[in-house]
Amino acid sequence: MSKFIFITGGVVSGIGKGICGASIGRLLKDRGLSVFMQKFDPYINVDPGTMSPYQHGEVFVTKDGAETDLDLGHYERFIDEELTQRSNVTTGRIYSEVIRKERRGDYGGSTVQVIPHITDRIKSYVYKAAEESKADIIITEIGGTVGDIESLPFIEAIRQIHAENKKEDVLFIHTTLVPKIPGSDELKTKPTQHSFKELMSQGIKTNIIVVRSEEKISEEIKNKISLFCDVPKRAIVQSENVNLIYEVPLKLHEQGLDEYILHKLCLSGQPVLKDDWKVMIENFKNVKDELEIGLVGKYVQLHDAYLSVSQALIDAGYSNGHKVNLHWINSEEITEQNCEEVLKDLDGIIVPGGFGGRGIEGMIATSKYAREKNIPYFGICLGMQIAIIDIARNLCGLEGADSTQKDPNPKYPVIDLMKNQIDVEDIGGTLRLGNYDCKLLENSKVKELYKEDIIKERHRHRYEFNNDFKEDLEKEGVIFSGINPELGLVEIIEYTKTDYFVACQFHPEFKSRPNKIHPLFNGFIKASICNKNK
């Protein structure tokens, strides 16, 4: 029997509900409970897969191929559990499922309505998550801000879940902002009071309030919130601003949040918090050396577009004793002429994923520069395709080599649409998504890093390396060190004539954890440190 925690947000968006939920997940897991997490997003897109990175930031991919909100990345990194299709549900998905059922005649002639049909469908995702994961605790974050029109059915659904279950099995946590008024230097609780009232008017009485604020909130502020929002003072905690997001669970723990949650859920008697997380943070904080890593992409104006990649780099840096200084470099501004100037001070270069043709030439120039100057290169997805185009053009003499995503009719289509993608019409949900096997080559760098024969990694792409050009590349020192056994599709390449040049078709960043760094991020960071000390 699972218990349910629902997290809502008040006042403004972007106050770190996701990190708050992930932190609570971490704390409960450390207390010996099993945890599953999910996020409900009230927008109409069926999933974020079709949204621009500028709109939505990174699309996080689960092992079973769901394209999801980037908060799931926080969840996985904090709680170290692989989430699933059940973990991200949007209004669009709920409605399309209900409408499909209606067309099939599943509703037996009744009028299909928001209540109960839409709310039932939403609830089914919570209950199914409990059934399938068998976790002790299901944590569900409701995206958006309380008071939004579009989140009403979700709020109603969680109200019903509260009504259907025992009091001690359902807990509501509300995150709010206590703003400071410019000039008067005063912290204001009124927006929190209003947001509490708004939730009350929708039938939900919050049990816990997590406050964000510019500065530390006083006892007086807590007293006020406690009085107006009818929660005991120990149920009000602050999620302080920290340098390392991984500190948030500890800060919440110091204020007794996990203790209080267990008490409310009648789960007292659980083992006390483990020390590992604390030790990890201490180690991260004591790091003295620095490392300069360039991230060359075309969505660099919005760092969230590369959230898991940047987090994995930073975490890998810390765990190897270095603070990573990330240089966000817009590939559209790179040319073969200015490469030297832009990239010369970097210890390592990463080219992450991306779509379309814009900014590609700058990435190709980057790959060439990294090869020629023996700077560690790490290509992910598009970054692997880029490396292949570079090597084909500049070493194999295949002038005019390109990806058919950029140029539909290149002289040498070294990157081409996957065969099973040719007839695909819809763009939503049709990429090659989620886990696929990859067999590693003996005596390769990646074999050394993974220490395994077959690995499983998550994917999100439509194009692949065209195997017709294998020999051309091999002659110039490329090895194909990871192959998908079913399709023969190239998953990893290495260029062997420099110290470190590894690129993969999959997205390793989704599987890296602060306390369990992904082998490819480890390998790249270690190589960059070597390069720096050379």
DSSP lists the bridge partners of residue 327 as 294
Report the residue number, 419 or 475, with the smaller CB distance to ligand GLN.
Answer: 419
State how far the alpha carbon of 287 is from the alpha carbons of 168, 230, 315, in Å. 43, 44, 11
Minimum CB distance to ligand GLN, residue 122 (Å)? 30
Judged by CB under 6 A, which stretch of 48-56, 231-239, 443-451, 454-462 contacts ligand GLN? 454-462
Minimum CB distance to ligand GLN, residue 19 (Å)? 25
Closest residue by beta carbon to ligand GLN: 353
The angle subtended at Cα 439 by Cα 433 and Cα 442, nearest 5°, is 150
C-beta separation of 142 from 154 below 8 A = yes
Report the residue number, 354 or 482, with the smaller CB distance to ligand GLN.
Answer: 354
Size of the site for ligand GLN (CB under 6 A): 10
Report the residue number, 112 or 427, with the smaller CB distance to ligand GLN.
Answer: 427
Minimum CB distance to ligand GLN, residue 226 (Å)? 48
Query: Which stretches within 80-232 are classed as H helix?
Result: 91-104, 119-133, 152-164, 190-201, 219-229
Minimum CB distance to ligand GLN, residue 326 (Å)? 19
Task: Say whether 266 is catalytic.
Answer: no
Contacts of 448 (CB under 8 A, 6+ apart): none
Residues of this chain, 352-411, that bind ligand GLN according to CB under 6 A = 353-355, 381-382, 405
Minimum CB distance to ligand GLN, residue 460 (Å)? 5
Report the residue number, 172 or 463, with the smaller CB distance to ligand GLN.
Answer: 463
Task: Say whether 507 is catalytic.
Answer: yes
Q: Tokens 């975490």 label which residue? A: 315
Q: Tokens 């990429």 label which residue? A: 431
Residues of this chain, 34-93, that bind ligand GLN according to CB under 6 A = none
Residue 458 touching ligand GLN (CB under 6 A): no
State how far the alpha carbon of 213 is from the alpha carbons of 36, 186, 221, in Å. 28, 11, 11
Q: Angle of helix 119-133 relative to helix 91-104, nearest 10 degrees? A: 100
Task: Say whether 504 is catalytic.
Answer: no
Instruction: Please give the full DSSP string across 81-125, using - where no structure is assigned.
Output: ----GGGEEEHHHHHHHHHHHHHHTTTTTPPP-IIIIIHHHHHHH
C-beta separation of 69 from 88 below 8 A = yes
Report the residue number, 264 or 461, with the smaller CB distance to ligand GLN.
Answer: 461
Residues of this chain, 459-488, that bind ligand GLN according to CB under 6 A = 460-463
Find, among 154, 209, 531, the residue nearest to 376 by Cα. Answer: 531
DSSP lists the bridge partners of residue 291 as 324
Judged by CB under 6 A, which stretch of 18-26, 199-207, 266-274, 350-358 contacts ligand GLN? 350-358
Contacts of 110 (CB under 8 A, 6+ apart): none
Catalytic: which of 339, 381, 396, 504? 381
Report the residue number, 257 or 382, with the smaller CB distance to ligand GLN.
Answer: 382
Residues classed as catalytic: 381, 507, 509
> Which residues make up the interface to ligand GLN (CB under 6 A)?
353-355, 381-382, 405, 460-463
